[in-house]
Structure 1
């Protein structure tokens, strides 16, 4: 039987709502939708590009705890409430995913709060 390991970012949301930042089973890692909060300060920048960058740093931290990197990401889901916010994020996405080039999808939908301008969910598979 494969062990299931839960990873937390320390965000109060995970405890209050009842979810994990990431779940690891075998070589597979599922990272929850991650916003641009700086969890060490529980603050969020107003700029979508800064939020996208923080999203990736938060995701990279969860992946590192799981023994993986952003280069191991195989699938990404991007959610932005305002489609005009997507194109400014392209350079940030390329910066972090230029090597991995995961399969990805973009959807436009409302997020938990109006301050959140982008959310990113990823699936990764550790390499042998």
Structure 2
């Protein structure tokens, strides 16, 4: 089966050796995505703003894969500070409340102390 690689343009992709997303058949695997705004290469200090930007970054990758957030079937949230997760809930409900993908939240360190959340999704093209 053919693989399509999708890049966000982040220098980390070449430095580490990964793609923002990989499409195989109807499956789309989106790498852990942080709240960096790749247009400005900046990141907010606010976890809610980072969560919004994570979703925008994921949505961009999904659109490049001819998909969208409605196709998300699995989501993993990674936060260095677990007690901050509840602050993200309104944003997550806004985007995933009607979709209700299978979900997991993990508390773990992230690559940069500025990062307050990382989100990874798997999607299946339904159209």
TM-score normalised by length of structure 2: 0.98
Aligned to 1:122, the other structure's residue is in SS state strand
Aligned to 2:7: 8
Aligned to 1:89: 88
Divergent runs of 4+, >6 A: none
Distance 1:27 1:99 in 2: 21
Aligned to 1:22: 21
Aligned to 2:123, the other structure's residue is in SS state strand
Distance 1:14 1:41 in 2: 17
Distance 1:126 1:98 in 2: 19
CA RMSD of aligned residues (A): 0.6
Equivalent residue pairs, number: 127
Aligned to 1:72: 71
* Equivalence map 1:36-47=2 (5 Å): 36-47=35-46
Aligned to 1:109: 108
The unaligned stretches of length 5 or more in structure 1 are none
Give the CA deviation at 1:40.
1.0
Aligned to 2:59, the other structure's residue is in SS state helix
Distance 2:112 2:83 in 1: 18
TM-score normalised by length of structure 1: 0.97
Give the CA deviation at 1:15.
1.3
Q: Deviations over 1:6-36 (max 9, x none)?
A: 0000111111111000000010000000000
Distance 2:60 2:96 in 1: 15
